[in-house]
């Protein structure tokens, strides 16, 4: 009996020691499941993981220790622009030697999402760059190549070739609630990796004029220039968003920062890795936010205005919506059962539809409500892109 108890105690001791080592060195192995997005192997948090769980003793050191190794600094360089008249002797006589300008440099952050070297960052961090250098938290450096970009969401996917890479755990941004604590990790102003804390200030922010598709997480965690492309994580160290922009009158943090949800990032990753670009749905309508003036013009009852929705003021001839029977004056209240309350929400919902696959739209026409099945086409990417945002 004594021998059996001794063996049991030794086995328990070994297991506890092994658990402690894994929890300290590779905490992402505990309670995580592997998944594949577009053929890229990533680590996802289990559905039972709750972003609102509190840190012991009020410290966020565990979350920072888990997530920080996967957050990288990104240095970009762009060759100096050459003046086309720089070699002209008369130009040099009047204006001096202005043949070559100074090379341009950029600074940002990124997040390693796969041990195979895939990095998620902002498009505006790497846009137009001739060279991209990634600096890991362990001081290793590597040249990165761009796998693909999506200016509509301001996201980009990079790839580096290094071994033993730490990968962040992808959380479920749909579980976030206003008031949840979050951490922002990045390299502000190039001072080195920095962790700041705050809460989720708002969800679903849109109509900010930053991206074409906007569904931002707003936070008061300090975000500054250089943080773009960095990680917004919960208290478990799970990635919840990619820090993208700030509202500022001074150029520094004023407590209003915006992050792209990881749910959006997953869609972009899947599209870019599979097809080289993100394919979005399009139905060919001209929508406007429903208000009392438009309701009166189209004879829509006040109750419908209070209920919310998006009014269609124009339908492209022979477009997907026209072929399905959508008419000017119709009010779209939901796409695939998900309510839409403004133009931005309708744009995002339609863009998420799979081209060629019929999808139901809930439409209010007059006093009657019905569902119309629309087969979306492919949304064309804009030819002219907006200037990058900080």
Rounded to an integer, what distance in angstroms lies between the CA atom of residue 72 and that of residue 193?
8
What is the three-state SS of 269-288? HHHHHHHCCCCCEECCEEEE
124 flagged as catalytic: yes
Burial of 43 (0-12, 13-18, 19+ CB in 10 A): buried
- List C-alpha distances in Å: 336 to 171, 215, 349: 24, 18, 9
Q: What is the DSSP string of 98-142?
A: -SB-PPEEEEEEEEE--TTSEEEEEHHHHTT-SEEEEE-TTS-EE
Residue 48 is a catalytic residue? no
Q: In this structure, what token pair is assigned to residue 74? A: 């990104």
Q: Active site residue: 152, 154, 180, 220, which one?
A: 154
> Which is the catalytic residue, given 73, 228, 253, 344?
228
- Counting Cβ atoms within 10 Å, is residue 300 exposed (0-12), middle (13-18) or buried (19+)? buried
Q: Annotated catalytic, 275? A: no
Q: Are 305 and 291 in contact (CB under 8 A)?
A: yes
Q: What are phi and psi of 2, to 5 degrees?
A: -60, -40
- Which candidate in 73, 124, 150, 180 is catalytic? 124
Q: Which residue, chain included where needed, has tokens 């950029």?
A: 106
- CA separation for the pair 91, 40 (Å, rounded): 53
**Residue numbers annotated as active site:** 124, 154, 228
């Amino acid at each position: 009996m004594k021998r059996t108890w001794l063996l049991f105690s030794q086995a328990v001791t070994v297991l506890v020691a092994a658990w402690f080592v894994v929890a300290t060195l590779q905490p992402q192995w505990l309670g995580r499941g592997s998944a594949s997005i577009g053929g890229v192997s990533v680590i996802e948090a289990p559905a039972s993981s709750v972003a609102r769980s509190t840190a012991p003793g009020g410290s966020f050191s565990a979350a920072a220790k888990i997530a920080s190794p996967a957050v990288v600094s990104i240095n970009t360089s762009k060759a100096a622009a050459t003046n086309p008249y720089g070699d002209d002797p008369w130009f040099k006589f009047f204006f001096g030697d202005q043949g070559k300008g100074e090379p341009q440099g950029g600074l940002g952050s990124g997040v390693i999402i796969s041990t195979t070297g895939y990095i998620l960052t902002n498009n505006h961090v790497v846009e137009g760059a001739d060279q991209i250098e990634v600096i890991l938290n362990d001081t290793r450096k590597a040249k990165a190549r761009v796998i693909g970009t999506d200016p509509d969401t301001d996201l980009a996917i990079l790839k580096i070739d290094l071994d033993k890479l730490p990968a962040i755990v992808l959380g479920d941004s749909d579980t976030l609630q206003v008031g949840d604590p979050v951490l922002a990790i990045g390299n502000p102003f190039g001072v080195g990796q920095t962790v700041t804390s705050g809460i989720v200030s708002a969800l679903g922010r849109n109509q900010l004029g930053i991206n074409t598709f906007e569904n931002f997480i707003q936070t008061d965690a300090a975000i500054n220039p250089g943080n773009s492309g960095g990680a917004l994580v919960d208290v478990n160290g799970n990635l919840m968003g990619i820090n993208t922009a700030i509202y500022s009158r001074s150029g520094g943090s004023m407590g209003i920062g915006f992050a792209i949800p990881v749910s959006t990032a997953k869609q972009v990753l899947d599209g870019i890795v599979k097809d080289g670009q993100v394919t979005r749905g399009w139905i060919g309508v001209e929508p406007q936010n429903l208000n009392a003036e438009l309701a009166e013009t189209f004879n829509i009852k006040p109750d419908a205005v209070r209920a919310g929705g998006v009014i269609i003021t124009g339908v492209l001839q022979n477009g997907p919506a026209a072929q399905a029977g959508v008419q000017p004056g119709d009010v779209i209240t939901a796409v695939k059962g998900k309510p839409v309350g403004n133009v931005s929400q309708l744009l995002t919902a339609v863009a998420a539809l799979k081209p060629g696959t019929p999808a139901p739209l809930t439409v209010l026409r007059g006093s009657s409500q019905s569902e119309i099945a629309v087969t979306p086409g492919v949304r064309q990417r804009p030819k002219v892109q907006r200037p990058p945002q900080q």
